[in-house]
Amino acid sequence: MNEKSQAQVPLEPERYELRAASPYHFDLGRRDFFKFLGAGIVVVSVLKPAVIAQESGAARQRRGESLPQEINAWLHIGENGKVTAYTGKVEIGQNIRTSLSQAVAEELHVPIENIEMVMGDTQLTPFDMGTFGSRTTPTMNLQLRKVASAARDVLVNLAAAQWKTDAQHLVAADGKVTDPHGNRSVEYAALMKGQQLTETLPAEDPLIPAANWSVAGKSVAKIEGREFVTGQHRYPSDQKLPDMLYGKVLRPPAFDATLVSVETQKAEQMGATVVHDGNFVGAAAPTSQLAEAAAAAIHAEWKSEPQISNKELFEYLRKNTTEGKDPTGDGDRYDAGSVDQAMSSADHQLRQTYTVQYIAHTPLEPRAALAKWDGDQLTVWTGTQRPFGVRGQLAEAFRIPEDKIRVLMPDMGSGYGGKHTGETAIEAARLARAAKRPVKVVWTREEEFTWAYFRPAGVIDVMSGVSKDGTITAWEFHNYNSGSAGIKTYYEIPNQRIVFHPVKSPLRQGSYRALAATANHFARESHMDELAHTVKMDPLEFRLKNLKNDRLRAVFEAAAKQFGWGKSKSEGQGFGMGGGYEKLGNVATFAEINVDKKSGDVKIVRLVTAFECGAIVNPDGLRNQLEGSNVQGLGGALFEAIQFDNGKILNDRLSQYRVPRFSDVPVMETILLDRKDIPSAGAGECPLIGVAPAIANAIFDATGKRLRALPLIPNGLKAA
Amino acid sequence: MSTIHLAINAKPYTVDVDPQTSLLMVLREHLDLTGSKYGCGEGQCGACTVLIDGKAQRSCITRVGSVSGKKITTIEGLANGDRLHPVQQAFLDVGAMQCAYCTSGMIMSAVALLDRNPSPQPNEIVDFMDGNICRCGTYPRIVSAIQKAAKATRETAAAKGASR
């Protein structure tokens, strides 16, 4: 695949959690958005129709929507010179509050301290589908750059008109417009006085080439970092209002259980507000202790059906595809050449199966929401990657128009794809409506482990044919349930059959950082190693022989060089690699591991990652994302797995579900390839995908043992 | 319910609660000191770490009745007015955070570590900090930040010693 077609790879359509039905069924019988801005100038960014479909979701409902969805960002410069940029994207630890401010500062030529970013507030910011898919840097960064650059032109033109000179002679820098010939300058604030200008973005506005960036491209410190190190920042779970109550929801004993009967009298006598509405049962009280005690005093009977456990999982997934039955469509499929013929005539054939378990995002801050009703107006502060999506869920649950609802998203304690939904928002709002007071709901860790959604488990069958000289001639790849992200192969293979088979999942599942690209790369890159072994070729040489994509070759070669691929190894040592591309980023990860032959303990000694995602915006932030991806990838690669049986999660605590800690972290070396000629892509996801195959291949290199299941060594190598 | 007297960040507080209530809940709900975070409720993640008589403790599994009269320090009490504690400053300088939800607990644990070991080796930092989880995976930067804070503290102490 060449670079052009790489850029056209569609985003994965499978986001199960976005199609899920509302969790509760209750038994229920153009605002003037400029008015709060004041004088000055407003620049509005308008999307092209093709981009709207991708960024806002083609099937989205427009109920109660008062703003055209073509608008996706705006920026205001006030009479005091203060710059405020508005975006529906949210800050979840990926540091975009800083990188987006940096983009605006760069184009507008003002210090970054002068910029305020208003993010993810459904009343103040333009509609946004959600913060996921590594889309912020390629889309919002670009849009805000365009908006800021248009605003700068307005300022320069105002100064030119004032001085009766040609705008081309003028220079915008450091919050001022300067006329080098006339030896005069004027501050932006002075130009704003008495102005009320609206500018709609000219689409073809030129941008500053990456090579000339002055702020972007450099590392800047996290905005409001001081608030975070002093404990002053208020996360969603820290929000508080006068007269606020704490809410607690009664949970069924198993998934998909139905409520048979409920007795709430005792809880009511304790002074709690108790709500029983449809299948929702919950209590609200002045302290969380009392709310919890009241919920515990509610006697409820539930009925549930027998459900499967981990033991039957993979057999179940293979047998329960929904192809031909799912109204939302079948899975993706790619065909090229004649696979069966090429397979039967190949010198070597290889058939293997790879599996991945359900894993939990485990954001350190569990889901939380604070809801308040003023008459029929609902305001909710909640931790979500989709504030507008949550607004839609609330509108559906309460059967009220979206313009009666305001959702605000205070910068939250991470998400990793796990907070696309608004469960706590609905729960808090339902309790608040009954209590006629604001109610906060914060999930416990056990609730987060059980009632959120998981990264899908999956079974992947790979069949391949290779000729003696190491040319892959046939490739068949079937993914059951885990997803279609990263399912296509970037190796040059003339005959391909690649199919994603959707399945009715036994557990609630949804997006997870890098989606199914982690599973698909694990299967593909493990299989590549097995093929290299089959034809007795060096795994790097074998990959490069079958790979034409220049960007991908470049990361493999850069990582191999840094790693010292080909060096001799000692007893117990193993080297392996994995790589690929996803979300317009290219990555190669090389792993060095050490196996203690006696104990079977595997130590990940070193990870070398080469990464390229176009022009680099903030190298320090990028390194932070890369290291974070590696560490998070280690968990799913080595030991994370959800254990379940009969509709219950068996390991719903951090003492039972192991996530990476300090002592798990290897030496990490990152090589950033900066392609100033290619637009910037996001980096929150792609670097994750090479970790698991690189380690699995290194374990094989050290021991001759081929592990084809993620997690690889939840109980050490001996048990594997 | 009992009346419990607490000394938090050098200020006296009185709360009427069941002495079995967790210190974390009292800090967050009763006193609105929300810098200490809930992550697991079983002392596994370290997000709720506070100092009790200088020792790092998990406030989510510490009963409020057991700390009456003891000296409690939370993240809100670490800075000296506008001057950040060297560990806070180092976390800022190094950029040792992404979502920063774990940061309060990380900083409090690190303060306790440096108090008893002013020059920790990287492996000593890893051992001491292994009970604190960062899901964003910023561990290497946290180790760097702690080393930087240790160095800054030693230099300040040396400067003070020299000026005496």
CATH number at residue B40: 3.10.20.30
Instruction: Report the pLDDT value the prediction gives residue A328, as an integer from 0 to 100.
Output: 52
Q: What percent of chain A has pLDDT over 90?
A: 70
The torsion defined by the Cα of A179, A180, A184 and A190, in degrees rounded to 10, comes to: 40
A247 Cα to chain B: minimum distance (Å): 13
Asked whether the predicted pLDDT for residue A14 surpasses 80, the reply is no
Instruction: Report the pLDDT value the prediction gives residue A64, as an integer from 0 to 100.
Output: 36
Nearest to A709, CA basis, from A653, A660, A639? A639
Respond yes or no on whether the N-terminal peptide bond of residue A711 is cis (omega within 30° of 0). Answer: yes
**Does A164 share its domain with A81?**
yes
Q: What is the number of structural domains in chain B?
A: 2
Average the pLDDT over A673-700 and give the result. Answer: 91
pLDDT, tens digit (0-9, with 9 covering 90-100), for A613-669: 988 877 887 888 899 999 999 999 999 999 999 999 999 999 999 999 999 999 999
Domain presence at residue A1: no
- Whether the CB-CB separation of A634 and A291 falls below 8 Å is answered with no
> pTM for the full model?
0.91
Average the pLDDT over A666-689 and give the result. Answer: 90
Q: Among B57, B77, B97, where does a domain finish?
A: B77
Instruction: Report the pLDDT value the prediction gives residue A619, as an integer from 0 to 100.
Output: 84
Q: Determine the 3-state secondary structure of A295 from DSSP.
A: helix
Question: What mean pLDDT is reported for chain A?
Answer: 88
Query: In what order do the strands lie in the sheet containing A573-582?
Result: A573-582, A585-595, A602-612, A667-672
**Does B22 share its domain with B90?**
no
Residue B143 — very low, low, confident or very high, per pLDDT cuts 50/70/90?
Answer: very high
Instruction: Report the pLDDT value the prediction gives residue B82, as an integer from 0 to 100.
Output: 92
Instruction: Report the pLDDT value the prediction gives residue A208, as an integer from 0 to 100.
Output: 56
pLDDT, tens digit (0-9, with 9 covering 90-100), for B74-122: 999 999 999 999 999 999 999 999 999 999 999 999 999 999 999 999 9
Distance CA A39, CA A41 (A): 7
Average the pLDDT over A500-522 and give the result. Answer: 94
Question: Who's near A71: CB < 8 A, 6+ residues apart?
Answer: A44, A45, A46, A47, A126, A127
Q: Which of B34, B88, B107 sits opposite A234 (nearest CB)?
A: B34
Assigned token pair, A257: 């259980």
Average the pLDDT over A551-559 and give the result. Answer: 98
Q: Among B20, B49, B77, where does a domain finish?
A: B77
Distance CA A153, CA A644 (A): 59
Q: Determine the 3-state secondary structure of A320 from DSSP.
A: coil
For the beta carbon of residue A680, count every other beta carbon within 10 angstroms.
26
Considering only alpha carbons, which residue of chain B is nearest residue A416? B136
Distance CA B86, CA B79 (A): 9
Per DSSP, A191 falls in state H
Domain presence at residue A719: no
Instruction: Report the pLDDT value the prediction gives residue B141, as an integer from 0 to 100.
Output: 95
CATH of the domain at B155: 1.10.150.120
**Does A205 share its domain with A150?**
yes
Assigned token pair, A78: 């006030």
Average the pLDDT over A557-580 and give the result. Answer: 97
B119 Cα to chain A: minimum distance (Å): 18
Chain B interface, mutation test: which of A90, A91, A228, A287, most B Cβ atoms within 10 Å?
A228
Q: What is the number of structural domains in chain A?
A: 3
Residue A52 — very low, low, confident or very high, per pLDDT cuts 50/70/90?
Answer: very low
**Does A529 share its domain with A383?**
no
B109 lies in which domain range?
Answer: 86-163
pLDDT, tens digit (0-9, with 9 covering 90-100), for A193-242: 877 777 776 543 445 555 555 555 667 788 889 999 999 999 999 999 99
Q: Determine the 3-state secondary structure of A157 from DSSP.
A: helix
Residues of B in contact with A383 (CB under 8 A): none
Considering only alpha carbons, which residue of chain A is nearest residue B45? A654
Assigned token pair, B126: 């890893």
In A396-509, at which residue ranges do the beta strands (DSSP E only) sit? 405-408, 439-442, 458-466, 472-480, 495-501
pLDDT, tens digit (0-9, with 9 covering 90-100), for B9-23: 999 999 999 999 999
pLDDT, tens digit (0-9, with 9 covering 90-100), for A114-149: 999 999 999 888 888 888 877 777 678 878 888 898
**Does A567 share its domain with A664?**
yes
Average the pLDDT over A495-503 and give the result. Answer: 95
Q: Among B50, B77, B104, where does a domain finish?
A: B77
Asked whether the predicted pLDDT for residue A357 surpasses 80, the reply is yes
**Does B108 share its domain with B142?**
yes
Q: What percent of chain A has pLDDT over 70?
A: 87
Assigned token pair, B104: 């309060």
ipTM value, please give it: 0.97
Distance CA A60, CA A6 (A): 27
Instruction: Report the pLDDT value the prediction gives residue A9, as an integer from 0 to 100.
Output: 39
**Does B71 share its domain with B95?**
no
Instruction: Report the pLDDT value the prediction gives residue A51, as an integer from 0 to 100.
Output: 46
Domain presence at residue A20: no
Chain A interface, mutation test: which of B28, B36, B89, B99, most A Cβ atoms within 10 Å?
B99
Distance CA A418, CA A581 (A): 22
For the beta carbon of residue A268, count every other beta carbon within 10 angstroms.
14
**Does B120 share its domain with B155?**
yes
Distance CA A590, CA A611 (A): 12
- Whether the CB-CB separation of B47 and B105 falls below 8 Å is answered with yes
**Does B155 share its domain with B112?**
yes
A202 lies in which domain range?
Answer: 31-229
**Does A421 share its domain with A293?**
yes
Q: Among A442, A474, A490, where does a domain finish?
A: A442
CATH of the domain at A460: 3.30.365.10
**Does B18 share its domain with B46?**
yes
Question: Who's near A133: CB < 8 A, 6+ residues apart?
Answer: A11, A12, A583, A682, A685
Instruction: Report the pLDDT value the prediction gives residue A28, as an integer from 0 to 100.
Output: 29
Rg over alpha carbons for chain B, rounded to the nearest Å, is: 16
Asked whether the predicted pLDDT for residue A6 surpasses 50, the reply is no
Chain A interface, mutation test: which of B72, B135, B141, B147, most A Cβ atoms within 10 Å?
B135
Domain presence at residue A344: yes
Pairing relation of β-strands A377-382 and A405-408? parallel
Q: Which of A144-148, A526-530, A678-682 has the highest mean pLDDT?
A: A526-530
**Does A419 share its domain with A458?**
no
